Structure 1
Amino acid sequence: MAYLLYIAAAVAEIAGCFSFWAWWRLGKSAAWLVPGTLSLLAFAWLLALTPADAAGRSYATYGGIYIAASLAWLWLAEGVRPDRWDVIGAAVCIAGASIILLAPRGA
Protein backbone atom coordinates (compact mmCIF):
# COMPACT_ATOMS: atom_id res chain seq x y z
CA MET A 1 0.00 0.00 0.00
CA ALA A 2 2.82 2.41 0.81
CA TYR A 3 4.33 2.03 -2.66
CA LEU A 4 0.97 2.88 -4.21
CA LEU A 5 0.76 6.09 -2.18
CA TYR A 6 4.27 7.10 -3.25
CA ILE A 7 3.51 6.29 -6.89
CA ALA A 8 0.24 8.23 -6.79
CA ALA A 9 2.03 11.19 -5.19
CA ALA A 10 4.72 11.07 -7.88
CA VAL A 11 2.18 11.01 -10.70
CA ALA A 12 0.31 13.93 -9.13
CA GLU A 13 3.49 15.97 -8.70
CA ILE A 14 4.82 15.25 -12.18
CA ALA A 15 1.47 16.01 -13.80
CA GLY A 16 1.15 19.24 -11.83
CA CYS A 17 4.66 20.38 -12.63
CA PHE A 18 4.25 19.39 -16.27
CA SER A 19 1.16 21.59 -16.56
CA PHE A 20 3.27 24.57 -15.50
CA TRP A 21 6.02 23.46 -17.89
CA ALA A 22 3.48 23.20 -20.72
CA TRP A 23 2.14 26.69 -19.99
CA TRP A 24 5.52 28.36 -19.49
CA ARG A 25 7.79 26.47 -21.91
CA LEU A 26 5.43 25.05 -24.51
CA GLY A 27 3.10 28.02 -24.86
CA LYS A 28 -0.03 26.18 -23.74
CA SER A 29 -3.06 28.03 -22.40
CA ALA A 30 -3.02 29.37 -18.84
CA ALA A 31 -6.01 27.09 -18.30
CA TRP A 32 -3.43 24.30 -17.85
CA LEU A 33 -2.55 25.91 -14.50
CA VAL A 34 -5.89 25.04 -12.90
CA PRO A 35 -5.59 21.24 -13.07
CA GLY A 36 -1.87 21.60 -12.46
CA THR A 37 -2.46 23.41 -9.19
CA LEU A 38 -5.07 20.84 -8.13
CA SER A 39 -2.64 18.07 -9.00
CA LEU A 40 0.07 19.64 -6.85
CA LEU A 41 -2.37 19.92 -3.94
CA ALA A 42 -3.21 16.22 -4.40
CA PHE A 43 0.52 15.45 -4.37
CA ALA A 44 1.02 17.15 -1.01
CA TRP A 45 -2.02 15.40 0.47
CA LEU A 46 -0.95 11.97 -0.81
CA LEU A 47 2.60 12.37 0.46
CA ALA A 48 1.23 13.30 3.89
CA LEU A 49 -0.69 9.98 3.96
CA THR A 50 2.47 7.87 3.64
CA PRO A 51 3.31 5.65 6.61
CA ALA A 52 6.80 6.96 7.40
CA ASP A 53 7.49 7.88 11.03
CA ALA A 54 9.11 11.19 10.04
CA ALA A 55 8.56 13.64 7.21
CA GLY A 56 12.20 13.54 6.11
CA ARG A 57 12.14 9.76 5.83
CA SER A 58 8.94 9.95 3.79
CA TYR A 59 10.53 12.53 1.48
CA ALA A 60 13.66 10.40 1.08
CA THR A 61 11.63 7.32 0.18
CA TYR A 62 9.50 9.40 -2.17
CA GLY A 63 12.61 10.70 -3.94
CA GLY A 64 13.55 7.26 -5.22
CA ILE A 65 10.01 6.55 -6.41
CA TYR A 66 9.83 10.01 -8.01
CA ILE A 67 12.94 9.39 -10.10
CA ALA A 68 11.54 6.17 -11.54
CA ALA A 69 8.12 7.77 -12.11
CA SER A 70 9.77 10.70 -13.92
CA LEU A 71 11.43 8.32 -16.34
CA ALA A 72 8.11 6.55 -16.90
CA TRP A 73 6.57 9.97 -17.63
CA LEU A 74 9.42 10.70 -20.04
CA TRP A 75 8.51 7.56 -21.97
CA LEU A 76 4.71 7.53 -21.72
CA ALA A 77 3.88 11.25 -21.91
CA GLU A 78 6.81 12.65 -23.86
CA GLY A 79 7.57 9.72 -26.12
CA VAL A 80 11.26 9.56 -25.20
CA ARG A 81 12.36 6.05 -24.33
CA PRO A 82 14.70 5.87 -21.30
CA ASP A 83 18.08 4.36 -22.10
CA ARG A 84 19.77 1.59 -20.14
CA TRP A 85 21.52 4.09 -17.86
CA ASP A 86 18.18 5.66 -16.98
CA VAL A 87 16.80 2.22 -16.14
CA ILE A 88 19.85 1.25 -14.08
CA GLY A 89 19.71 4.55 -12.21
CA ALA A 90 16.00 4.17 -11.52
CA ALA A 91 16.55 0.61 -10.24
CA VAL A 92 19.23 1.86 -7.85
CA CYS A 93 16.85 4.58 -6.63
CA ILE A 94 13.99 2.11 -6.12
CA ALA A 95 16.35 -0.15 -4.19
CA GLY A 96 17.40 2.76 -1.98
CA ALA A 97 13.80 3.85 -1.43
CA SER A 98 12.87 0.27 -0.53
CA ILE A 99 15.67 0.03 2.01
CA ILE A 100 14.45 3.22 3.68
CA LEU A 101 10.80 2.17 3.56
CA LEU A 102 11.16 -1.46 4.62
CA ALA A 103 14.05 -1.25 7.12
CA PRO A 104 13.21 -2.77 10.49
CA ARG A 105 13.07 0.01 13.05
CA GLY A 106 12.51 -0.30 16.76
CA ALA A 107 9.43 1.22 18.35
Structure 2
Amino acid sequence: MTVARSVLLFLLAALAEIGGAWLVWQGWREHRGLWWIAAGVVALGAYGFVATFQPEANFGRVLAAYGGVFVAGSLAWGVVVDRFRPTVWDIVGAAICLAGVAVIMYAPHK
Protein backbone atom coordinates (compact mmCIF):
# COMPACT_ATOMS: atom_id res chain seq x y z
CA MET A 1 0.00 0.00 0.00
CA THR A 2 2.92 2.37 0.64
CA VAL A 3 4.04 2.28 -3.03
CA ALA A 4 0.47 2.89 -4.21
CA ARG A 5 0.14 5.84 -1.81
CA SER A 6 3.46 7.23 -2.97
CA VAL A 7 2.50 6.94 -6.65
CA LEU A 8 -0.83 8.66 -5.96
CA LEU A 9 0.97 11.48 -4.15
CA PHE A 10 3.36 11.88 -7.08
CA LEU A 11 0.39 12.12 -9.46
CA LEU A 12 -1.32 14.71 -7.26
CA ALA A 13 1.91 16.69 -6.98
CA ALA A 14 2.32 16.63 -10.76
CA LEU A 15 -1.24 17.80 -11.29
CA ALA A 16 -0.74 20.69 -8.86
CA GLU A 17 2.67 21.76 -10.14
CA ILE A 18 2.14 21.31 -13.85
CA GLY A 19 -1.40 22.68 -13.66
CA GLY A 20 -0.19 25.65 -11.62
CA ALA A 21 2.62 26.42 -14.02
CA TRP A 22 0.20 26.09 -16.94
CA LEU A 23 -2.22 28.54 -15.29
CA VAL A 24 0.56 31.08 -14.77
CA TRP A 25 1.64 30.55 -18.40
CA GLN A 26 -1.91 31.10 -19.60
CA GLY A 27 -2.38 34.16 -17.39
CA TRP A 28 0.84 35.84 -18.46
CA ARG A 29 1.78 34.61 -21.93
CA GLU A 30 -1.75 34.15 -23.25
CA HIS A 31 -3.01 37.33 -21.52
CA ARG A 32 -5.82 35.64 -19.63
CA GLY A 33 -5.32 37.82 -16.59
CA LEU A 34 -4.36 37.94 -12.96
CA TRP A 35 -7.01 35.45 -11.80
CA TRP A 36 -5.35 32.73 -13.86
CA ILE A 37 -1.97 33.67 -12.42
CA ALA A 38 -3.36 33.73 -8.87
CA ALA A 39 -4.93 30.29 -9.34
CA GLY A 40 -1.58 29.05 -10.63
CA VAL A 41 0.25 30.39 -7.59
CA VAL A 42 -2.23 28.63 -5.29
CA ALA A 43 -1.79 25.36 -7.19
CA LEU A 44 1.99 25.68 -7.04
CA GLY A 45 1.76 26.21 -3.29
CA ALA A 46 -0.41 23.10 -2.99
CA TYR A 47 2.28 21.14 -4.81
CA GLY A 48 4.75 22.02 -2.08
CA PHE A 49 2.46 20.58 0.57
CA VAL A 50 1.54 17.41 -1.32
CA ALA A 51 5.19 16.40 -1.49
CA THR A 52 5.41 16.49 2.33
CA PHE A 53 3.02 13.54 2.57
CA GLN A 54 5.39 11.14 0.80
CA PRO A 55 6.26 8.17 3.05
CA GLU A 56 9.98 8.65 2.29
CA ALA A 57 11.58 10.95 4.87
CA ASN A 58 14.48 12.18 2.70
CA PHE A 59 13.54 15.45 0.95
CA GLY A 60 16.31 15.13 -1.63
CA ARG A 61 15.22 11.65 -2.66
CA VAL A 62 11.56 12.66 -2.98
CA LEU A 63 12.35 15.77 -5.00
CA ALA A 64 14.83 13.96 -7.24
CA ALA A 65 12.30 11.23 -7.98
CA TYR A 66 9.56 13.78 -8.53
CA GLY A 67 11.71 15.31 -11.27
CA GLY A 68 11.13 12.19 -13.36
CA VAL A 69 7.40 12.29 -12.66
CA PHE A 70 7.40 15.95 -13.70
CA VAL A 71 9.06 15.15 -17.04
CA ALA A 72 6.55 12.43 -17.92
CA GLY A 73 3.63 14.38 -16.49
CA SER A 74 4.51 17.49 -18.46
CA LEU A 75 4.44 15.54 -21.69
CA ALA A 76 1.14 13.93 -20.72
CA TRP A 77 -0.32 17.34 -19.82
CA GLY A 78 0.75 18.65 -23.20
CA VAL A 79 -0.95 15.74 -24.97
CA VAL A 80 -4.23 16.09 -23.07
CA VAL A 81 -4.51 19.86 -22.63
CA ASP A 82 -2.51 21.41 -25.47
CA ARG A 83 -2.87 18.64 -28.08
CA PHE A 84 0.91 18.23 -28.17
CA ARG A 85 2.13 15.24 -30.19
CA PRO A 86 5.23 13.72 -28.59
CA THR A 87 7.84 12.01 -30.71
CA VAL A 88 9.01 8.50 -30.01
CA TRP A 89 12.06 10.07 -28.36
CA ASP A 90 9.88 12.12 -26.02
CA ILE A 91 8.18 8.89 -24.96
CA VAL A 92 11.47 7.01 -24.59
CA GLY A 93 12.89 9.85 -22.52
CA ALA A 94 9.84 9.93 -20.27
CA ALA A 95 10.03 6.14 -19.80
CA ILE A 96 13.70 6.44 -18.81
CA CYS A 97 12.76 9.14 -16.30
CA LEU A 98 10.02 6.96 -14.80
CA ALA A 99 12.45 4.05 -14.54
CA GLY A 100 14.72 6.40 -12.61
CA VAL A 101 11.84 7.29 -10.31
CA ALA A 102 11.27 3.60 -9.59
CA VAL A 103 14.93 3.05 -8.76
CA ILE A 104 15.27 6.17 -6.62
CA MET A 105 12.07 5.67 -4.65
CA TYR A 106 11.34 1.97 -4.53
CA ALA A 107 14.63 0.09 -4.73
CA PRO A 108 16.02 -1.07 -1.37
CA HIS A 109 18.20 1.67 0.14
CA LYS A 110 19.44 -0.13 3.23
The TM-score normalised by the length of structure 2 is 0.91
C-alpha deviation, 1:53, in angstroms: 2.5
8 Å contact kept, 1:7–1:66: no
> Residue 105 of structure 2: which of 97, 101, 106 is its match?
101
8 Å contact kept, 2:27–2:33: yes
CA deviation profile, 1:44-103 (whole Å, cap 9, x unmatched): 110111122310000011011110000001100111121111100000000001001111
- Kindly indicate whether residue 39 of structure 2 is the aligned counterpart of residue 35 of structure 1: yes
CA distance, structure 1, for counterparts of residue 55 and residue 104 of structure 2 = 12
Q: Structure 1 runs of 4+ off > 6 angstroms?
A: none
CA distance, structure 1, for counterparts of residue 17 and residue 62 of structure 2 = 15
Give the unaligned 5+ runs of structure 1. Answer: none
CA distance, structure 2, for counterparts of residue 103 and residue 80 of structure 1 = 33
- Kindly indicate whether residue 73 of structure 2 is the aligned counterpart of residue 80 of structure 1: no
> Residue 57 of structure 1: which of 55, 58, 61 is its match?
61
CA distance, structure 2, for counterparts of residue 3 and residue 104 of structure 1 = 17
> Residue 13 of structure 1: which of 1, 13, 17 is its match?
17
Single out whichever of 19-28 and 86-95 deviates more from structure 2. 19-28
CA distance, structure 2, for counterparts of residue 29 and residue 76 of structure 1 = 23
Give the unaligned 5+ runs of structure 2. Answer: none
C-alpha deviation, 1:23, in angstroms: 1.3
Q: Aligned residues: percent identity?
A: 38
Quick one: which amino acid aligns to residue 29 of structure 2? Answer: R
C-alpha deviation, 1:34, in angstroms: 2.4
